[in-house]
């Protein structure tokens, strides 16, 4: 791999990471203010994942099941890309408060939805606010904390997904089981109000440094192309003819390539130039992040499979699925203190663990080779935990590599680019998951069709972390 900026590119090249006591001692409320938005974002993800089977039973729209994630994340891309510009124009605190207001407005729309179209509109509004919240967490880390505290702060951001595994499935599952799934969205509003108060108190101009570098222009045309490419792939799942589905996927890929070519020719970039070159550290890290996130998108359909094939109730399905996020959080928190060769080993080992976990899920989920029961349940939860652990154990060090590889003046751009790549991979993965599941016969109904869709979806998506194994080795070679 060629080195794209300073010599301090690896997690172990800088001073040893600060301890948790330093981050959560005098800076604890500032850290909570910074990461609370990600916690709300993650809680919402688990709420929606848990209640979606109940939603489609109530208002219909099974064919658009994956669109709830696809539109949410496609809109999040726009929110994420706008973060740097809005921070420069409004300041960090005002941008954060606006993000919370948008997120809450979307929750109100979703909770009052009478049709799938209305629901999807609410998810799009939520997505814009969610993209801002997700990007703000990474964008504020280098503006609030010293570089040696970055790995811990990044791990804390990832750890918010662990908080979501406690609250999200519980809130979604309890309300879905009682037939009141709408209230699950309204339950977020008090948490949003509390987070807004904390942001107002902790993230004022006195505590947040100004970002270096020139003011960022907003590449609205390229954002639109990126979001449109995802929507085209999602539309393929609704196509009646194979040729039309193929045309939608091809058009989506071409739009993404066109966006990349335009971005490389502009001074105001959506992503750093090095992110498009896979032989650079930045490019390899971004590719690895994208593959790991795409592989995790099978999570969208897991509650549906667990309820339909293994007899889970909504609450049980939500908590079982949350094992993936719990593994991610435990991996990030447990491995964030490593540095040097140990940190690089986590980057290499993570995709191997994720591939193993997903391959086991592909074997277990159809309930054909091992019947549903206590043993299968335990192995499914174990496989989900291993899958999440594989993402989390190298995640803080991948993100730290990208931040250290940023060119002077591109720190803010790199921070937002990490989130943009993560969200694009999530949106594209959700769209492809919907396409694969529908093509495998999910919409036909019945246990046999559901089992076939589960096997095809999980087997194909295992290829993403398998490919990340080779990318991760390339990122860490000779470092």
Q: What is the pLDDT along the chain (479 residues), one digit of tens a residue?
A: 433 333 334 444 445 555 565 666 666 777 777 788 888 888 888 788 888 888 988 998 887 888 888 888 888 888 877 887 788 778 888 888 999 999 999 999 999 998 999 999 999 999 999 989 988 887 787 777 767 676 777 777 777 766 676 677 777 888 888 888 898 899 889 989 999 998 887 776 656 666 555 555 667 788 888 888 888 888 887 777 778 888 988 998 899 899 989 988 877 778 888 888 888 888 899 999 999 999 998 988 998 999 989 999 888 888 888 888 788 888 887 887 888 888 899 999 999 999 999 999 999 999 888 888 899 999 999 999 999 999 999 988 888 888 887 777 776 678 778 878 887 888 888 888 888 988 888 867 678 889 999 999 999 999 999 999 999 998 887 56
Domain that holds residue 296: 26-207+219-476
Identify the pLDDT of residue 197.
92
Exposed, middle or buried by CB within 10 Å (0-12, 13-18, 19+), for 445?
exposed
Structural domains of the chain, count? 1
* CA–CA separation, 366 and 240 (whole Å): 26
DSSP for residue 63: G
In a domain, 14, yes or no: no
In a domain, 17, yes or no: no
Side-chain half-sphere exposure of 156, counting CA atoms within 13 A: 28
Identify the pLDDT of residue 325.
79
What lies within 8 Å, CB to CB, of 478 at 6+ separation is 1
In a domain, 30, yes or no: yes
In a domain, 199, yes or no: yes
* Token duo for residue 8: 């301090």
- Please say whether the beta carbons of 468 and 348 come within 8 A: no
Identify the pLDDT of residue 169.
76
Alpha helices, DSSP H, located in 265-410: 281-296, 302-310, 314-335, 340-364, 374-392, 395-405
Identify the pLDDT of residue 241.
77
Q: What is the CATH number of the domain that holds 150?
A: 1.20.1250.20
Identify the pLDDT of residue 376.
92
| Beta-bridge partners for 2 | 280
| Beta-bridge partners for 280 | 2
Cα torsion 363, 367, 368, 371 to 10°: value is: 110
The predicted model scores a pTM of 0.76
State the CB neighbour count (10 A cutoff) for residue 94. 15
Residues, the chain: 479
In a domain, 13, yes or no: no
In a domain, 223, yes or no: yes
* CA–CA separation, 28 and 125 (whole Å): 31
- Please say whether the beta carbons of 133 and 203 come within 8 A: no
In a domain, 296, yes or no: yes
Identify the pLDDT of residue 7.
33
Identify the pLDDT of residue 87.
80
């Amino acid at each position: 791999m060629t080195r794209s900026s300073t010599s301090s590119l690896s997690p172990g090249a800088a001073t040893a990471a600060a301890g948790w006591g330093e981050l959560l001692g005098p800076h604890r409320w500032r850290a909570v203010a910074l990461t609370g938005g990600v916690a709300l974002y993650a809680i919402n993800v688990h709420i929606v994942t848990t209640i979606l089977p109940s939603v489609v039973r109530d208002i219909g729209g099974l064919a658009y099941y994956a669109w709830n994630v696809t539109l949410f994340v496609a809109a999040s891309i726009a929110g994420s890309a706008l973060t740097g510009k809005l921070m420069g124009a409004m300041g960090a605190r005002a941008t954060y408060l606006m993000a919370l207001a948008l997120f809450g407005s979307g929750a109100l729309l979703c909770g009052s939805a009478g049709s799938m179209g209305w629901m999807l509109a609410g998810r799009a509004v939520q997505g814009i606010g969610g993209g801002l919240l997700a990007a703000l967490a990474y964008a504020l880390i280098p503006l609030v904390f010293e570089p040696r505290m970055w790995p811990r702060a990044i791990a804390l951001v990832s750890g918010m997904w662990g908080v979501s595994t406690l609250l999200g499935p519980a809130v979604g599952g309890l309300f879905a089981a009682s037939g009141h799934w709408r209230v699950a969205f309204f339950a977020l509003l008090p948490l949003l109000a509390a987070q807004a108060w904390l942001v107002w108190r902790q993230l004022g101009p006195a505590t947040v440094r100004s970002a270096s570098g020139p003011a960022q222009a907003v590449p609205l045309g390229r954002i639109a192309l990126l979001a449109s490419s995802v929507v085209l792939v999602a539309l393929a799942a609704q196509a009646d003819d194979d040729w039309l589905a193929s045309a939608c996927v091809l058009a989506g890929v071409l739009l993404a390539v066109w966006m990349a070519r335009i971005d490389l020719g502009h001074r105001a970039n959506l992503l750093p130039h090095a992110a498009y070159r896979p032989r650079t550290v930045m490019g390899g890290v971004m590719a690895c992040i994208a593959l790991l996130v795409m592989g995790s998108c099978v999570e969208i359909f897991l509650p549906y499979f667990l309820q339909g094939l293994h007899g889970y109730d909504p609450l049980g399905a939500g908590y079982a699925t949350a094992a993936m996020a719990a593994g991610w959080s435990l991996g990030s928190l447990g491995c964030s203190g490593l540095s040097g060769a140990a940190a690089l080993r986590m980057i290499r080992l993570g995709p191997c663990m994720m591939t193993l976990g997903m391959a086991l899920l592909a074997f277990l989920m159809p309930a054909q080779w091992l019947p549903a029961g206590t043993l299968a349940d335990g192995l499914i939860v174990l496989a989900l935990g291993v899958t999440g652990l594989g993402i989390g154990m190298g995640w803080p060090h991948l993100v730290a590599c990208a931040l250290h590889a940023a060119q002077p003046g591109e720190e803010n751009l790199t921070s937002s680019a990490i989130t943009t790549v993560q969200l694009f991979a999530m949106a594209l993965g959700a769209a492809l998951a919907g396409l694969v599941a529908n093509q495998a016969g999910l919409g036909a109904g019945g246990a046999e069709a559901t089992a076939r869709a589960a096997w095809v979806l999980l087997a194909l998506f295992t290829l993403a972390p398998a490919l990340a194994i080779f990318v991760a080795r390339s990122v860490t070679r000779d470092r």
